[in-house]
Amino acid sequence: MLTYLARRILILLPTLLLISLIVFSLQLLLPGDPALALAGEERDPEVIEFIREKYNLNEPIIVQYGYWLAALVQGDMGISLRTQMPVTQIILTKLPVTLELAALAMTIALMIGIPAGIISAVRRGTAWDAGANIIALSGISLPNFWMGIMLILLVSVRWGLLPASGYVSPLVDPGRNLAAMIMPAFVLGSGIAGIMMRHTRSAMLSELTADYVRTARAKGLKERVVILRHALRNALIPVVTLTALQLGELLSGAVLTEQVFTIPGFGKLIVDAVFNRDYAVVQGVVLFTATAFIVMNLVADMLYFVLNPRLRT
């Protein structure tokens, strides 16, 4: 396993280098000139020239990339052109919010999707199967922003049970924090739960017809043991991959959901940075989220060894 892990990490290094090159190059597609944006309305030529020299904007693109990559290796993602704060500090400030939202959403998705998929597969062709499929397809089909607005109108405006928007740190008030995060987490988690349910159902249907399941039943094992200890363990392998990908997507920021509920996470950060032409922040957030995807895939590969003993050989 350690050898496999070392090989995977060696593969990740050139992948990260390629991602950094792509992320840096994408700034060329953004409209406008950051020097003109920072110079203010007067746009004094001397000020513009000073800004270009300070941020190496006069240098060729490949030289700018070299400066940026050298600083990145040292943990320096640059300075925000708008707030003059280090990008690393901005990301670390927003990261706990995004991590909490992603963890809550994924917890809700797993708690709904996997049990629903198991029940749907075991009770195939029954009302339980039809109900689970209807709920799953509804979660996949309904847009996040529409569901968020409907929840705000019903739960917050009409019933007054939860706050409509805003964010409170769990260090300040855990109760208010959970009340503010539960609705956006449910909006995100419901869509993922539908995808999770479909994959779990498909994998379980395949495993329940396998020879080892038939043998386990012939030995007289209880149906609950056959389903949960034998079939489910092998069925979870594709679900682990899906979970890693969805969690990486959540870490990249749920733009529409965060805008609807005014959650100060990565989604809102990247939108504000694009509108403000804050290239350093855009590069930092995109690079971080791309790295999160890679790390999540690496974690999924490691979990395969736990779930499937055949891979250990």
Residues 179, 185, 189, CA angle at the centre, nearest 5°?
150
The verdict on 128 and 237 lying in the same domain is yes
**SS3 for 168?**
coil
**Residue 308 in this model has a pLDDT that exceeds 70:** no
The verdict on 144 and 267 lying in the same domain is yes
Average pLDDT over residues 100-123: 91
The verdict on 20 and 151 lying in the same domain is no
Query: Sign of the C-alpha dihedral, residues 186, 191, 192, 195?
Result: positive
The verdict on 69 and 99 lying in the same domain is no
The verdict on 181 and 213 lying in the same domain is yes
The verdict on 260 and 117 lying in the same domain is yes
% of the chain exceeding 70 in pLDDT = 92
**Candidate from 49-53, 118-122, 231-235, 305-309 with smallest mean pLDDT:** 305-309
- Per the model's pLDDT, the better-predicted residue between 141 and 29 turns out to be 141
Q: What single DSSP character describes residue 27? A: G
The verdict on 54 and 201 lying in the same domain is no
For residue 86, the cross-strand partners are 79
**Residue 247 in this model has a pLDDT that exceeds 80:** yes
In a domain, residue 84? The reply is no
The verdict on 237 and 272 lying in the same domain is yes
Q: How confident is the model at residue 186 (pLDDT cuts 50, 70, 90)?
A: very high
Q: Tens digit of pLDDT for each residue in 252-299?
A: 767 778 888 888 888 888 888 877 777 788 888 888 888 888 888 888
Q: How confident is the model at residue 310 (pLDDT cuts 50, 70, 90)?
A: low
In a domain, residue 85? The reply is no
The verdict on 136 and 274 lying in the same domain is yes
In a domain, residue 127? The reply is yes
The total number of structural domains that make up the chain: 2
In a domain, residue 272? The reply is yes
Q: Tens digit of pLDDT for each residue in 188-237?
A: 998 899 899 999 999 999 888 888 888 888 888 888 888 888 888 888 88
Domain final position from 26, 43, 73? 73
CB 307 within 8 A of CB 238: no
The verdict on 46 and 96 lying in the same domain is no
Provide the whole-model pTM: 0.81
The verdict on 58 and 140 lying in the same domain is no
In a domain, residue 289? The reply is yes
In a domain, residue 153? The reply is yes
Distance CA 73, CA 199 (A): 39
Q: Tens digit of pLDDT for each residue in 122-178?
A: 988 888 888 888 888 888 888 888 888 999 999 989 998 889 888 888 888 889 999
Tokens standing for residue 47: 């000020």
Distance CA 59, CA 295 (A): 33
Domain that holds residue 98: 92-312
Q: What single DSSP character describes residue 101? A: H
Domain final position from 43, 73, 103? 73
In a domain, residue 301? The reply is yes
Report the pLDDT value the prediction gives residue 303, as an integer from 0 to 100: 78
Residue 262: give its domain's CATH number: 1.10.3720.10
Report the pLDDT value the prediction gives residue 197, as an integer from 0 to 100: 92
Quote the crossing angle between the two packed helices 87-122 and 232-251, to the nearest 10°: 150
**Residue 301 in this model has a pLDDT that exceeds 80:** no
Name the burial class of residue 254, with classes exposed (0-12), middle (13-18) and buried (19+) by CB atoms within 10 angstroms of its CB. Answer: buried
**Residue 110 in this model has a pLDDT that exceeds 70:** yes
The verdict on 40 and 129 lying in the same domain is no
In a domain, residue 83? The reply is no
Domain final position from 25, 41, 73? 73
For the CA atoms of 214, 219, 224, 227, the dihedral, rounded to the nearest 10 degrees, stands at -30
